[in-house]
Amino acid sequence: MKAYVTAIIENYVREYEKTSATKWGRPLVGFADAAHPMLPELRVVADKNHVMPQKVLEDAAIVVCYFLPFTRETAKSNIGDGHASPEWARAYEDTNALFTRLNAHLIEQLEARGYRAAVSPEATTFDREVLMSRWSQRHMAWLAGMGTFGLNNMIITDAGCCGRFSSVVTNLDVTPGAPLTTENCLYKREGKCGVCVRHCFSGALTTEGYDRKKCFGVCSENAAVYNDFGNSYAADAEGVIMDTGSEVCGKCLVGVPCAFGKPFREE
């Protein structure tokens, strides 16, 4: 079933990009244990109302997580201080739109085989005061063993961190992955690199920590410029839809050694 799910995702993306301005690299797919003992801790480290998979699907067993890498061209367009590139803003909106359709397709395919699957509606909303979501895509991917948190806060996968995550809760009966035991970020591994921090011209990201409000300020400035590519993530935590524009930046995940792969040679 793992190969089947992976093939559905890969095929969908390849078909979809034939008519999309944005292109993607090969998707990575992971499987998280929906009953992992660390899941309740999300309510401590992330949002206190973080949704548990069993609330999304009663007999939740596996959270299918997937990562869509951006292309090197998309990343290159966004290198340098100032506003995010139009290609970056478009890739953000196009990827979120693709997620909605691909998740519906995946659910349909699984249901046709007698399984059940659902998406957490909270995944595409966040509280605009505390700047947290009640469904953390990164933590699900981390639990699935898809990668580790970089200094830039991104999950660094085998295909790097320059891309986006989505997830679907299922009752699949497959063996889940487990969190990795070694770091994929050079700074966390060996105390060197920090290129992501140097790219953050606003000072939101430092080696001491991350100021999400400052970062959101930069993303909001870009949203004022990019109003034409779509309006995903526009719902607040209560589901109220706002006309926000594309809240993007992403300077800390382009032109960095972990953008498209692990930033070190495997031993």
**What is the binding site for ligand SF4 (CB under 6 A)?**
150-152, 185-187, 193-196, 199-200, 202, 204-205, 215, 218, 249-252, 256-258, 263
Min CB(3)–ligand B12 separation in Å: 24
DSSP 8-state code for residue 15: H
Q: Hey, what amino acid is at 182?
A: T
Please, is 181 exposed, middle or buried when counting C-beta atoms within 10 Å of its C-beta (0-12, 13-18, 19+)? Answer: exposed
Polymer length in residues for the chain: 267
Which one of ligand SF4, ligand B12, none is in contact with 43 (Cβ closer than 5 to 8 A by kind)? none
The answer to whether 14 and 31 have CB atoms below 8 angstroms apart is no
Choose the stretch contacting ligand B12; rule: CB under 6 A; options: 26-34, 55-63, 127-135, 223-231. 127-135
Structure tokens at 95: 């990827």
The answer to whether 53 and 36 have CB atoms below 8 angstroms apart is no
Site for ligand B12 in 6-65 (CB under 6 A): 45-46
What's the start-to-end Cα distance of the chain, in Å? Answer: 31
Site for ligand B12 in 213-232 (CB under 6 A): 215-216, 219
What is the C-alpha separation between 72 and 137, in angstroms, rounded?
Answer: 23
Q: Is 197 in the site for ligand B12 (CB under 6 A)?
A: no
Q: Among 6, 20, 153, 202, which residue sits at the site for ligand B12 (rule: CB under 6 A)?
A: 153
Which one of ligand SF4, ligand B12, none is in contact with 64 (Cβ closer than 5 to 8 A by kind)? none
Q: Chain-centre distance of CA 78, in angstroms? A: 18
Q: Among 32, 39, 60, 154, which residue sits at the site for ligand B12 (rule: CB under 6 A)?
A: 154
Binding footprint of ligand B12 on the chain (CB under 6 A): 45-46, 92, 123, 126, 131-133, 135-138, 142, 149, 152-155, 161, 163-165, 205, 210, 212, 215-216, 219, 247-250, 252-253
